[in-house]
Structure 1
Amino acid sequence: MTQPASEPVDDDLETSVDDAIAACEGNARAAIRVLLVALHYCQTELEQRNNEIAQLAQDISRGYSRGRWEDLLTRADVPIPYKPGD
Structure 2
Amino acid sequence: NSHVGTAEQVVVKRTLSVSFIAGLPADRRAQVERQVRALIARTPELTGDGAVAFPYETSMYAYRKARREGAALPCLTASGSSALPA
Length-normalised TM-score, structure 1? 0.28
> Which has the larger share of strand?
2
> Which has the larger share of helix?
1
Length-normalised TM-score, structure 2? 0.28
